[in-house]
Structure 1
Amino acid sequence: MPRIRILPEILASQVAAGEVVERPASAVKELVENSLDAGAGEILVEIRRGGAALLRVIDNGSGMSRDDALLSLERHATSKLADSAGLASIRTLGFRGEAVPSIASVSRFRLVTREPEAVSGTEIAVEGGVMRDVREAGCAPGTVVEVKDLFYNVPARRKFLRAETTEAAHVEHQLRMHALASSGVRFRFRKDEREVFDLPAGMSRMDRVRWMTGNDLGRELVTLPLTHGNGLSVEGFILPAGHARKGRRHQCVFLNGRPVEDSAISRGLAEGFRGALTDGLHPCAWLWIEMEPTLVDVNVHPAKREIRLHRPHDLREALNSAVREGLAQAEAARRPQPLPPAPPPQRQPMAVADRAVAPAPLPAAKPATIWPASIPVKARQLEMPQVAPLPEPQADARKTLPFRYVGTLLDRFAILESADGLVLLDPRAARERILYERWLAAEGGSHSQGLIVPVLLEPGPRECDLALRHRDEFARAGIELEAFGTGTLRVGSLPDFLRVGDARAFLTGLIDELASGQIPGARLGFEALARQLARRAALAEAPRPQEAMKLLEILFDCELPYCAPDGRPTLTEYSLRELERRFAGGKSAGL
């Protein structure tokens, strides 16, 4: 065994950096939290090449003196915690004193700071944890932290960074979270010399949530009633159950101004919907929780994302009741109000010369017309895309079907009779197989249909990055995507055989599901995308088992008709011998 020894200070800081600084977004989080703790009213964040080449945080906070600036680069040096008693009532975002020295140990670091009453400021340069220069500097009040070449001296960490667009998307997501948590602070974000957003100070929480979700979803926000009691208060917004998403990335929860994650909060939200959520989906929510600091422990995770509540049941119940009441009020507001009774008609005297005129007959009703999705009506597009049906079966397909339709089971499965016994058909699995093979056959996008009115999606920066990185695969599937501003995608075309009623919800759910299951940085193959598209398109349609025979005719034109793309069976057969054995109680049926 080698002898035990104390780690050198720089190595200890690099080890700590592995816990605190996972990627550029982690460094931005720590530095922005320091700015907020310093009372900044305006924060500018600039990055280049996803933050790996440069990230700069500029604030107009309280700044530091020369001595404090030098101390801030020492490990465990902090102005926010004086003794162990203070650990039980943390009111600041940072308190450990590890972030700044850890970041400086794995980068080329520069700190420029000045207190408002000071004549001059202080500039400190650090390279890989070694201090290179300390001098006076002329600067505005506040602090500038510049981090260049992150992980340049720790190649094992640097090689795990993802594509520049992915890292930039994580930085943007982190800043959006801070902007939601601190609506009274102006946040500016610049990426590769281009301004991404500039949020003025003083915006309401509702305005910031609408900025994050977009106007369409913003109109559907449900305001939760303010809840007080047991040392906590809760307020915020949710979206109806129809907008539930895969994973909890769209649950933005802030406890005492800190973005947090906790299972009690997620459960309380879900329970408030009273079973209206599909399995595996979670509601979208934006919550601000204020709680006595003594009731929560924020010192249980290196990055302070997770917390430990002393009375989780109280918070869970508060959220449950707030969500129920908010949804009930929203439902009551949507109900049409009865109109007041109309006053009786006033009879007007008729002149003698007036002649009674019989009312003109109404025109005969015309049958409803089903418009193609691309036909404009008064410069607007109708509900889309109710488009082409599934391909017609081959002419001789009917002659070869070995089944007879019997009926339906729970309006979900089709019951069929075969020469060997009983067969159950899963219409959704069958449609998945049909659509999957249709996508593979149409690879290249030659069967796409342009939309007169493009669809705009706002799934979020990280989801946008995923979709744009795989733009070619989407194009091969007949879905044309392009960037349309920050966190927004523009969809210009869809496959002509896709049959969904709400294209925006369909595509948003697809991208969200891909993001939740995608390995970071991995490429998305076209076949995997086709499988996901087929599954979601099949789920968007009612099963309609009564149409089993027509569906079977199309299904048996497929190369692999007996299974869905993920291997689930489309048809399950119970042979007559097996049925006889079941009814004979395991004894021989004499067959």
Structure 2
Amino acid sequence: MPQIRVLPDVLASQVAAGEVVERPASAVKELVENSLDAGAGEVLVEIRRGGAALLRVTDDGCGMSREDALLSLERHATSKLVDSKGLQDIRTLGFRGEAVPSIASVSRFRLVSCESGAISGTEIVLEGGVVKEVKEAGSAPGTMTEVRDLFFNVPARRKFLRAETTESAHIEHQLRLHALASAGVRFRFRKDEREVFDLPAGMSRLDRVRWMLGTNVGKELVSVPTLHGNGLSVEGFLLPAGHARKGRKHQCVFLNGRPVEDAAISRGLLEGFRGGLTEGLHPAAWLWIEMEPKLVDVNVHPAKREIRLHRPHELREAIAEAVREALKAEDERRRPVAPKPEPQVSPPRPEPARVWPLANTVQAPALPLEMPAQEKPVFPSPSRFRRIGELLGRYAVLESEDGLVLLDPRAARERILYERWLAGCEGKSLETQNLLVPALFEPGPREVELLLRHRETFADAGFELEDFGGGTLQVTAVPLFFEAEDVGVFLTRVIDDLAEGASPSARFALDRLARSLARRAAIQEAPRPEEAEALLDRLFQCDLPYCAPDGRPTLTEFSLRELEKRFGGGGTKSFD
């Protein structure tokens, strides 16, 4: 039987690093939180090669003496917690005393710190958690922490790092969160000797959210008025329901200055919209919540991302109420004032609404009608269906050998275009139009990196994408049937689809892109129900004619037996 032994300090720190330091962005998070806890008014973050080669965080906080600097490298050594009672009143971002020694144990680490008013500072050099050198050093007041060759002694962890662009995007996203949480602090970010952004300390929360969103979307922000009660307060900003997205990555919530994730907060946001969102979508929001520390437990996750609320229903209801009030005020502000009726003026005669636009109003890309030569499953011939009418100008009503069939022309058009786009993109690029003025789209650093990762796939589909810097994407060309002003909405939907995959491949990206393009083109060039016969011929050349790319049925059949059951009849039975 193996003997139980106490782990050496260095090995224990490396084990702790596995929980605290998942990637370079995790190390940046911990070091920046230490800077903010030290009262920094300015934080500079510098990285090289996605943070794997170099991470340097410099601040102008209170600094440390020689003794404190050495103690900060010991496990569970902290100035932020004195006794167990302090766990119920945590007001700092860090408190465990594990971050610095854990990071030092898996890197080549250097710490330079100087207290305000001190003649000189202290420099400490470590390698793999082992102290190599301690000496005096000239330094401005504050602390500089340098991390080189992250995970150099843990190769299993290092090989799981993503591409440099991906890791850089995660670091930039983390810094943006801190910049939103601490609007009174100046944040500077340098990547590979190039300055990415420099946010002055005087910016308001609204200015920082608008900086993050971009000018166009930032104009649509809805202010959430400050709500107080039951030991908490809520304020922030929302975007209208039209900007709702899949997932919750676009919800930035800060509780007592800490970026957090919690299901009660997300439910409160949904309830505040009162069912005004499509199923599966979540509103975009930026909320700052202040709460009595005793009402929340932040010590439930190694990276402190998740929290446990003692009265989650109260916070959920407070958020829902604040959101409802904000949306109500915005509706009243935008509601047009009814003009006074002018005498002796008869109202204009309303024109009948056209449900179906004329065919061929939008030029679709030229693609071959023939499907690629390959063996396909045999489906019933479309000749088995006979068109007998239409329903509300939306569905084609058909008769089959077995009963009644409803055809959704738009879903059928999506399936046809989807399979043709897959075949076309794999063989050659689709026709494009160059934009006279490139369209700028500001989704954020992680989203830009995700799109650029599949730049060739987008190019095959007619989109030319370039990195514009600062979380902004430049679109220089689009497919022929696209309008430049629609690019941002379309790419946002594609980002959400790509985000469903943990690490989407080129084939996955092509599938999501073809699916979105088909949906877009089918809406713009919706076939009419009377075109059902021609549509059926093309539909049954597809591999899967009975469903749209998102799984919606193209055809729905009601058998004669089912109809007889519904009407309670007996088929050919005579009536007495």
TM-score (normalised: structure 2): 0.88
Which of 359, 363, 371 is the aligned partner of 1:388?
Answer: 363
Q: For residues 190-589 of structure 1, what are the structure 2 equivalents within 5 Å?
A: 190-338=190-338, 387-389=362-364, 401-407=383-389, 413-443=395-425, 444-497=428-481, 502-515=486-499, 517-520=500-503, 522-525=505-508, 527-534=510-517, 536-537=519-520, 546=529, 549=532, 551-552=535-536, 554-556=538-540, 558=542, 560-565=544-549, 569-576=553-560, 579-580=563-564
Amino acid in the other structure paired with 1:31: L
Shift, 1:95, TM fit = 0.2
Counterparts of 2:279 and 2:65 in 1: how far apart (Å)?
55
Deviations 1:239-271 (A, max 9, x none): 000000111010000000000001110000011
Partner of residue 106, structure 2: 106
Shift, 1:512, TM fit = 2.8
Find the residue that maps to 2:316 and give its secondary structure: helix
Shift, 1:539, TM fit = 7.8
Question: Do the aligned residues in 2 keep the contact of 1:411 with 1:544 (CA within 8 Å)?
Answer: no
Q: For residues 80-91 of structure 1, what are the structure 2 equivalents within 5 Å?
A: 80-91=80-91
Counterparts of 2:559 and 2:340 in 1: how far apart (Å)?
65
Question: Do the aligned residues in 1 keep the contact of 2:497 with 2:512 (CA within 8 Å)?
Answer: no
Shift, 1:565, TM fit = 3.8
Counterparts of 2:361 and 2:540 in 1: how far apart (Å)?
25
Counterparts of 1:499 and 1:212 in 2: how far apart (Å)?
25
Instruction: Tell me: CA distance 1:160–1:523, structure 2 relative to 1, closer, same or farther (3 Å).
Output: farther
Instruction: Tell me: CA distance 1:30–1:589, structure 2 relative to 1, closer, same or farther (3 Å).
Output: farther
Amino acid in the other structure paired with 2:409: P
Deviations 1:540-580 (A, max 9, x none): 56977745525435434546533434665422334445645
Find the residue that maps to 1:313 and give its secondary structure: helix
Amino acid in the other structure paired with 1:238: L
Partner of residue 149, structure 1: 149
Instruction: Tell me: CA distance 1:481–1:391, structure 2 relative to 1, closer, same or farther (3 Å).
Output: closer
Instruction: Tell me: CA distance 1:179–1:501, structure 2 relative to 1, closer, same or farther (3 Å).
Output: closer
Partner of residue 184, structure 2: 184
Find the residue that maps to 1:324 and give its secondary structure: helix
Deviations 1:80-101 (A, max 9, x none): 0000011001000000000000
Amino acid in the other structure paired with 2:208: R
Partner of residue 379, structure 1: none
Amino acid in the other structure paired with 1:562: Y
Question: Do the aligned residues in 2 keep the contact of 1:500 with 1:506 (CA within 8 Å)?
Answer: no
Shift, 1:225, TM fit = 1.0
Find the residue that maps to 1:484 and give its secondary structure: strand
Counterparts of 1:121 and 1:499 in 2: how far apart (Å)?
59
Question: Do the aligned residues in 2 keep the contact of 1:463 with 1:512 (CA within 8 Å)?
Answer: no
Mark the runs of 5 or more structure 1 residues left unpaired by the alignment: 343-384
Question: Do the aligned residues in 1 keep the contact of 2:422 with 2:514 (CA within 8 Å)?
Answer: no
Counterparts of 2:497 and 2:551 in 1: how far apart (Å)?
19
Find the residue that maps to 2:421 and give its secondary structure: helix
Shift, 1:452, TM fit = 2.9
Shift, 1:523, TM fit = 4.2
Question: Do the aligned residues in 2 keep the contact of 1:506 with 1:536 (CA within 8 Å)?
Answer: no
Shift, 1:458, TM fit = 1.1
Instruction: Tell me: CA distance 1:500–1:270, structure 2 relative to 1, closer, same or farther (3 Å).
Output: farther
Instruction: Tell me: CA distance 1:252–1:407, structure 2 relative to 1, closer, same or farther (3 Å).
Output: farther
Amino acid in the other structure paired with 2:362: V
| Structure 1 residue 46 corresponds to structure 2 residue 46 | yes
Shift, 1:527, TM fit = 3.9
Deviations 1:410-469 (A, max 9, x none): 776433212442112233431221221332343233412223333221111111001001
Find the residue that maps to 2:39 and give its secondary structure: coil
Question: Do the aligned residues in 2 keep the contact of 1:404 with 1:417 (CA within 8 Å)?
Answer: yes
Shifted more, 51-60 versus 549-558: the winner is: 549-558
Q: For residues 114-125 of structure 1, what are the structure 2 equivalents within 5 Å?
A: 114-125=114-125
Shifted more, 310-319 versus 553-562: the winner is: 553-562
Partner of residue 377, structure 1: none
Counterparts of 1:110 and 1:297 in 2: how far apart (Å)?
33
Counterparts of 2:440 and 2:496 in 1: how far apart (Å)?
15
> Percent of aligned pairs with the same residue?
70
Find the residue that maps to 1:445 and give its secondary structure: coil
Amino acid in the other structure paired with 1:257: G
Counterparts of 1:475 and 1:199 in 2: how far apart (Å)?
34
Runs of at least 4 residues of structure 1 off by over 6 A? 390-395, 542-545, 587-590
Deviations 1:510-543 (A, max 9, x none): 123312x122374454642344324642685697
Amino acid in the other structure paired with 1:466: L
Shift, 1:329, TM fit = 1.0
Instruction: Tell me: CA distance 1:547–1:36, structure 2 relative to 1, closer, same or farther (3 Å).
Output: farther
Partner of residue 139, structure 2: 139
Shift, 1:505, TM fit = 1.0
Instruction: Tell me: CA distance 1:3–1:413, structure 2 relative to 1, closer, same or farther (3 Å).
Output: farther
Question: Do the aligned residues in 2 keep the contact of 1:412 with 1:543 (CA within 8 Å)?
Answer: no
Question: Do the aligned residues in 2 keep the contact of 1:473 with 1:529 (CA within 8 Å)?
Answer: no
Counterparts of 2:243 and 2:361 in 1: how far apart (Å)?
21
Find the residue that maps to 1:502 and give its secondary structure: helix
Shift, 1:483, TM fit = 1.0
Mark the runs of 5 or more structure 2 residues left unpaired by the alignment: 343-359, 371-380
Partner of residue 365, structure 1: none
Instruction: Tell me: CA distance 1:48–1:7, structure 2 relative to 1, closer, same or farther (3 Å).
Output: same
Shift, 1:273, TM fit = 0.6
Aligned residues between the structures: 544
Question: Do the aligned residues in 2 keep the contact of 1:299 with 1:307 (CA within 8 Å)?
Answer: yes
Question: Do the aligned residues in 1 keep the contact of 2:390 with 2:530 (CA within 8 Å)?
Answer: no
Shift, 1:394, TM fit = 7.9
Amino acid in the other structure paired with 2:387: Y
Amino acid in the other structure paired with 1:388: Q
Deviations 1:18-59 (A, max 9, x none): 000000000000000000000000000001110011100000
Question: Do the aligned residues in 2 keep the contact of 1:112 with 1:124 (CA within 8 Å)?
Answer: yes
Find the residue that maps to 2:469 and give its secondary structure: coil
